[in-house]
Amino acid sequence: MQNELELIEQHKVFDGNQRRYRHYSSTLGCAMTFSLFVPDPSRWPSPPLLWWLSGLTCNDENLTTKAGAQRIAARLGMAIIMPDTSPRGEAVADVSQWDLGQGAGFYLNASQQPWAEHYRMYDYLRDELPQILSSQLGFNGLQAISGHSMGGHGALVMALRNPERFCSVSAFSPIVNPTEVPWGQNAFQAYLGEDRQNWLQWDSCELLKNYQGKMIPMLVDQGDNDSFLGKQLQPERLTRIAAGNNYPLTLRMQQGYDHSYYFIASFIEQHLEFHMKYLQ
């Protein structure tokens, strides 16, 4: 049955519950999994929801197993939804390179073949998965969004294009200007075609240049020992644009930290506390 949820795994943790679900996505045309942490329902019957978008090569389980976020979310009374990073399956287009195809959906809607049939992660996250969370799991309250690397890109784009939906947005090591860096150019050319004008709607720097929506608080953490910093990330580009139009962005350069989940684990508590200020 379309959108029927199958609970495939669950664990009690910090008096809450870490679950993993499978369902068929009509938007993506394949089966999808997502992970969900729910704090103790006896204390938090209607918790606010944080979306976490993971990066290249990751899936819905990276945050659950590597970041230690459940301990903090349980204390704060926050639920966390962790979608997968792309459509998957034998019928879904893929290539042998790690930064394109399955595990590298870039949270956009592809328009080019062979990607267009399945790679519509933006619509999945904007429309289908929220409807499932609302109708079948009862999440109808306040929401925020965060992510890492490619997922940081996705979180920023999702928030800037849907500011009425989110109270706050944060990112670790985000790809802020994908139209101007190799990771983004490679993916956008494949998924969106040669016309660079079509790329701009998926670039947070471009979205912020002429932004006129609700200004929701934005926090970005970046390690200065990140091997991808100079070539792929360059968060100062986003900072300059935000400063030019008085957008409430805080960029924190963290000395000695790299691109790994050790970095995320070190600062995830501060990010969840940042979001909770706006989710109450």
Catalytic residues: 149, 226, 259
Angle subtended by helix axes 69-76 and 261-279, to nearest 10: 10
Name the amino acid, one letter, at 227.
S
Residue with tokens 């101007």: 180
Q: Which residues of 174-213 are buried (b: 16+ CB within 10 A; e: fewer)?
A: bbbbbeebebbebbbebbbeeeeeebeebbbbbbbeebee
CA distance linking residue 233 with residue 73, whole number of Å: 28
Q: Are 46 and 55 in contact (CB under 8 A)?
A: no
Using DSSP bridges, classify how beta strands 218-223 and 249-254 pair: parallel, antiparallel or unpaired.
Answer: parallel
Neighbours of 121 (CB within 10 A): 28
What Rg do the C-alpha atoms of the chain give, in angstroms?
A: 18
